[in-house]
Structure 1
Amino acid sequence: RKGNFSSCSFLLWFLPSFSFSMSLDISCGVLFPPRLPEPPKICPVRTAEHTITPLNNTDHFLVSAFMDQRVKGFDLRIISIFKTNSAKPLYCLFCCAGQLSNTTPTNILQHAENFGFLFVTADIMCQIPQNCNATHVTLQTKPERVKALDQLWLPIRNQKTTGNEEKKLQFNFTVCISNLFGGINNVSASHHTLHSVDRVVIYNTSCGPELDLLFQSYSRTGFLEIVPWPIDLFLSPSWGWLYSLSGGDVHYFGQLATLNECVYRSMDRSRYVLLNDIDEIIMPYQHNNLTSLMNTLQQQHPKVGVFLIENHVFPKTVFEPSKRFHLPKWDEVPGFNILEHIYREDPDRTKYHPYKLIVQPRLVEQVSVHDVLKAFGTTYIVPPDVCRIIHVRGSLRGKLDAKELNEDTRLWDFHEKLIPNVDKALERAGLLRSEPAL
């Protein structure tokens, strides 16, 4: 009787002298053929350990690989830093559950905006072979497979999962900060705890000691993800945005590559991604937080995937005269107290005026610093009375006094939350001096 336990026992009882030199599966009276041994794993032998990986036999660098089936004919996108005058055919080689695939040809998409530099951001598009459960990928310059031992393999992120895409998103809002270099030590990053931001991702080449302490403290809470970005070990990065002005190999320490990498890193985790700098706040002016703002904007503009937010400068040399929020306990902390700067410049609209971005990552393909280069949705410029960037920095319009500027105290509406958040973060990092005893 198939499936009866007693029949299983009966069969075993009458096989005492059977030679078990080969593996048998015995299940409820059915004798199965021996299981074949699992094939030996031959890849990946060496997985890339750093964010920037030189590609063998080329002048190119690989950053990270992501599943991406939004472009017809391709399954995979590799973010890379590409030498424009050194283009040659490339081939993808996949690790399929430990086994090597055949190679597949690539399509190399150099980003249109490169500001004149020799090294640019590029997407290398690949198709995964059929019946390949791809876990890692590498690139080679010849279609013939090479030894797995000779390759550095990139893990493939954003693997396909089943279920409702919206339900699996871990965060509502992720802020992408790129790049920190030159030992920057402005400890004014605690404002990112405002307005429903769930996570901050920072690409760090170098920063000052106090800022590093703050970062380590935030990392331990899970709020901050620090991505090491040692671009200066491989190239001579530019300190400026335009090659003709500043020279170097690559724009602003590879800023365009990190912005795109962060969008894809966040694609399966975050509903929205904010692309702005460490000294900028995307500030709603008609809503109390980003969630309320984006719910309204998305309802009004359901096809929009890119929201452009206008940049407004608050000169750091002009202070609020009453010193209401001058806090002596912050005097020894590097950086500046953003609450003391409430005077805003009018943008010079006769010149190019930059924006920063809030994007739905699943609706964008390639991003730049102030715009999106390729998208699947439409773009909307958010009116500044709805939302604008508060950017405390040097003036763009020369030396203006308070009478020539616009008073803007919007940030003060959040001081009851902001000040304790900053105090807590500074205390946790050991950067806040104790209050003198009365």
Structure 2
Amino acid sequence: MEKAKDFKGKFLLLFVATFVFIFILSWKTPRRDRSAPKPLRAPPACPLWVSNDTITPLRNTKHFLVSAYMDQRVEGLDIRIIGLFRRDSVQPLHCLFCCGGHSSTTTPTTILQHSDNFGFPFVTTDAMCGIPKNCHATHVTLLTQPHTERTSNLSWLPIRNHKTNGKKEMKFNFTVCISNLFGDYNNVLQVAQTLEMYRLLGVNRVVIYNTSCGPELSRLLDSYSQEGFLEVVSWPIDKHLNPSHGWLFSLVGGDVHYFGQLTTLNECIYRSMERSRYVLLNDIDEIIMPYQHDNLMSLMNTLQQQQPNTGVFFIENHIFPKKHFEPSGRFHLPQWNKVPGINILEHIYRENPDRNVYHPYKMIIQPRMVEQTSVHEVLKNFGQRYKVPPDVCRIIHVRVGLQGSLTLEQLHVDKRLWDFQEKLIPNVDKVLQRVGLLHSDRRS
């Protein structure tokens, strides 16, 4: 009996000691404040992979991304992502931003398909979205689902044309946008003459989108790029799609109009928007030529004074058939005999446009007044549009004639290019010499 009482006493003493020990331990250890918020996990780091390509496939879609630009002209939609989307597969998309090295929450996009597609399956498309608050966005990508923490396999695009404080001074007065070179195009002499003619007219920068060109032309373009006058943008559209050599799907088939010409023209407008006062949209075999002014700046100063709220100036296309040559041979220069391409100085006979049928124009634009463009007209713009009278400015376009039945007597003599020959010829000689294409048998 005594042993049982002794055991109970020891058990009770042990129980009390254990309780006191637990109480002391809990008193010394700080209690966790259950009302305090849990520490936030750091958002996933970004960007892990930035696309340096001009055409980037968008994961889990049939679409392609080209470039991203800040564009605050449309309220609430700060970013414009230019792409090539398959028209029958457009679905809701979400913008994901890289903000100071970490990814944001996603924001919904507004998908704007351009109205001109000429029947082709792929269309130039703008994906518009707003930047989240307190996000200093440097890169952006598109997702098919709302935000996921897995960012390791995303293709990020750098955001260009960042907003700056105060009025930004334009680096260039005139930029020419050329799209596109394809099919091993190698018209070296005409390209050199055209680029040097534009330099004489006051153009500061030419941008060319190049899918493929001939070896001699590639050397010429490299030379112009090295001196900074030309910006060549690689455009490997044929690696991703079956591009068309024609303008209408019902006639030629394919995935996209003229090697993505509509996309590159729009891309060039935004590429030039914060650095060039004016942009000329035309082809490599066309020269937008003032006829009452010595240069493009004098022309535009006059036109802007007459049309102060105009951002789009249409310039009429005039064909100079390449089969008709100036008879005296005055500009059939021996040093150019072995240079591939057309000598535009030899072609002085001009077709009068048939205005009873559709007649194309090209454009000089103020890029900040244009949202979307097609080849011969703008699709969305701010301000007014104006057709420049052909006696003020017209396009010199040396190519196959559109009205092949016209006789020489029915054509008009137009020697406007000859007004620049004293500077044009030595300048062309200089650049051809620089790339090793000038023939040594030069007429004195």
The TM-score normalised by the length of structure 2 is 0.88
Contact 1:314/1:391, CA 8 A, preserved across alignment: yes
> Residue 414 of structure 2 is aligned with which of 408, 417, 425?
408
SS in 2 for 1:215: helix
- Number of residue pairs the alignment of both structures matches: 398
- Report the AA paired with residue 336 of structure 2: W
SS in 1 for 2:368: helix
Residues 26-65 of structure 1: pairs in structure 2 closer than 5 A: 42-65=45-68
The CA deviation at 1:49 is 1.6
Distance 1:339 1:297 in 2: 28
> Residue 367 of structure 1 is aligned with which of 373, 384, 396?
373
Uncovered stretches (5+) of structure 2, i.e. residues with no partner: 1-41
1:77-132 deviations in Å (ceiling 9; x for gaps):
00000100001100000000101100000000000011001100000001000110
Query: For residue 23 of structure 2, what is the aligned residue in structure 1?
Result: none
Confirm whether residue 72 of structure 1 aligns to residue 75 of structure 2. Answer: yes
Query: For residue 4 of structure 1, what is the aligned residue in structure 2?
Result: none
Distance 2:349 2:118 in 1: 32
Confirm whether residue 240 of structure 1 aligns to residue 246 of structure 2. Answer: yes
SS in 2 for 1:172: strand
SS in 1 for 2:201: coil
Residues 319-398 of structure 1: pairs in structure 2 closer than 5 A: 319-398=325-404
SS in 1 for 2:72: coil
State percent identity of aligned pairs: 68
Name the stretch that deviates more: 426-435 or 256-265.
426-435
Contact 1:93/1:145, CA 8 A, preserved across alignment: no
Contact 1:313/1:396, CA 8 A, preserved across alignment: yes
The CA deviation at 1:377 is 1.4
SS in 2 for 1:69: strand
Query: For residue 211 of structure 1, what is the aligned residue in structure 2?
Result: 217
- Report the AA paired with residue 184 of structure 2: G
Moved >3 Å (runs of 4+): 435-438
- Report the AA paired with residue 139 of structure 1: L
Distance 2:227 2:44 in 1: 37
Distance 1:436 1:296 in 2: 41
Query: For residue 174 of structure 1, what is the aligned residue in structure 2?
Result: 175
The CA deviation at 1:145 is 2.3
Contact 1:66/1:78, CA 8 A, preserved across alignment: yes
1:36-95 deviations in Å (ceiling 9; x for gaps):
xxx798111000021000000000000000000101110000000010000110000000
SS in 2 for 1:390: strand
Residues 230-309 of structure 1: pairs in structure 2 closer than 5 A: 230-309=236-315
SS in 1 for 2:380: strand
Distance 1:262 1:331 in 2: 34
SS in 2 for 1:292: helix
- Report the AA paired with residue 115 of structure 1: F
Distance 1:113 1:436, change over 3 A: closer
- Report the AA paired with residue 278 of structure 1: I
- Report the AA paired with residue 204 of structure 1: N
- Report the AA paired with residue 386 of structure 2: Y
Query: For residue 133 of structure 1, what is the aligned residue in structure 2?
Result: 136
Distance 2:66 2:363 in 1: 22
Question: What is the root-mean-square deviation in Å for CA atoms of aligned residues?
Answer: 1.3
Distance 1:218 1:388 in 2: 26
- Report the AA paired with residue 359 of structure 1: I
Distance 1:285 1:175 in 2: 19
The CA deviation at 1:348 is 0.8
Contact 1:66/1:77, CA 8 A, preserved across alignment: yes
Contact 2:333/2:442, CA 8 A, preserved across alignment: no
More helix by share: 2
Distance 2:283 2:244 in 1: 17
Distance 1:301 1:58 in 2: 45
Query: For residue 153 of structure 1, what is the aligned residue in structure 2?
Result: 156
Contact 2:351/2:403, CA 8 A, preserved across alignment: yes
Name the stretch that deviates more: 137-146 or 111-120.
137-146
Query: For residue 145 of structure 2, what is the aligned residue in structure 1?
Result: 142
Distance 1:194 1:170 in 2: 18
- Report the AA paired with residue 300 of structure 2: M
Distance 1:400 1:425 in 2: 36
- Report the AA paired with residue 260 of structure 2: G
Contact 1:318/1:401, CA 8 A, preserved across alignment: no
The CA deviation at 1:146 is 4.1
SS in 2 for 1:189: helix
Distance 1:376 1:145 in 2: 38
Distance 2:55 2:100 in 1: 24
Distance 1:164 1:142 in 2: 38
Distance 1:294 1:436, change over 3 A: closer
SS in 1 for 2:74: coil
Contact 1:333/1:432, CA 8 A, preserved across alignment: yes
The CA deviation at 1:417 is 1.5
Distance 2:316 2:368 in 1: 23
The TM-score normalised by the length of structure 1 is 0.89
Query: For residue 417 of structure 1, what is the aligned residue in structure 2?
Result: 423
- Report the AA paired with residue 177 of structure 1: I
The CA deviation at 1:150 is 1.2
SS in 2 for 1:156: strand
The CA deviation at 1:382 is 0.2
Greater C-alpha radius of gyration? 2
Query: For residue 323 of structure 2, what is the aligned residue in structure 1?
Result: 317
Query: For residue 105 of structure 1, what is the aligned residue in structure 2?
Result: 108
Query: For residue 123 of structure 1, what is the aligned residue in structure 2?
Result: 126
Distance 1:56 1:409, change over 3 A: same
